Amino acid sequence: MCGIVGLHLREPSLEPRLGELLAAMLGQVVERGPDSAGVAVYGDPRLSPPGRTVVSLLGTSVAEVAEALPGVTAYEADATTVVHASIDALKATLPGATVIGSGEGFAVLKGTGNPAELASSFGLADVTGWQGVGHTRMATESAVTPEGAHPFSVGPGQCLVHNGSFANHATIRRELRAQGVEFDSENDSEVGARFVAHQLAQGAELEKALKLLCERFDGFYTLLVSTGDSFAVVRDAIACKPALVAETDAWVAMASEYRALDVLPGIEHARIFEPEPEEVYVWRR
């Protein structure tokens, strides 16, 4: 059992409140995943200045970044260090660090412990932007580490959060490794993220990539996938993992429980529905 929340803003006047609203949503699903948490936020000018490459790292610190790359801007948020530098430069100078997100216009923050406390240590309530996804984890398939926390971001600007488990993840991991795909953890959710990123890198649209995932993966899952311009939800054929979507003219939101949607402005006027099994829902900026 894990908790998923996501918010895609259509109304620019709400962008200063993105982090505030996402933190409130995350706080409503703490009990679903008390082990660890993570968020991905799109459009915050401090974390991800326009036109700058942003890399989120585990296993390093602001001090170590400053020593390795003098003059490079970096921010520390719990276990995560967000750096404004090229991924090649960081891999060359900080080979022991793990990349948990890279691209323009977004940043990934992860940590272990109580999700509400992590949101505070991330400074999430002060974040601005146009889209955010969050996850609270109850570990079942791998150890409780920052690396095992969601979101899994393995393609430029792409994130995946998952509630459930993939039964055949070991088989698909072997197949992807044979095609040159590298992995950072033994988490089954990372396999889903790598599969989607691999399909997108080969030219598939997001909807097609998620349909292929439904065809190839066995198990139970609700997935929320975000990119630099998209916000998508899909569930498995049985759809036993909870998911609700709420939509207004101002925003689209998804959560594991209604109480996480109830904190949003205008929820009383929203169209609320449960996603159908194996139907891919995509909203674009």
Q: 187: which residues sit within 8 A by CB, 6+ positions away? A: 141, 142, 147, 148, 152
The CA distance from 276 to 91, in Å, is 41
Quote the tokens at residue 205.
């649209």
Q: Which letter does DSSP use for residue 276 in this model?
A: P
Type of residue numbered 71: G
Query: What are the φ/ψ torsions at residue 234 (nearest 5 degrees)?
Result: -150, 150
Under 8 Å between Cβ of 137 and 33: yes
Q: Tell me which residue of 225, 179, 182, 191 sits closest to 205, measured CA to CA.
A: 225
Secondary-structure percent of the chain, ordered helix, strand, coil, rounded to 5: 30, 30, 40
Side-chain-side CA neighbours of residue 8 (13 Å): 24
Q: Is 2 a catalytic residue?
A: yes
Active-site entry in 2, 159, 214, 240: 2
146 cis-preceded (ω within 30 degrees of 0) = no
**Active-site residue numbers?**
2
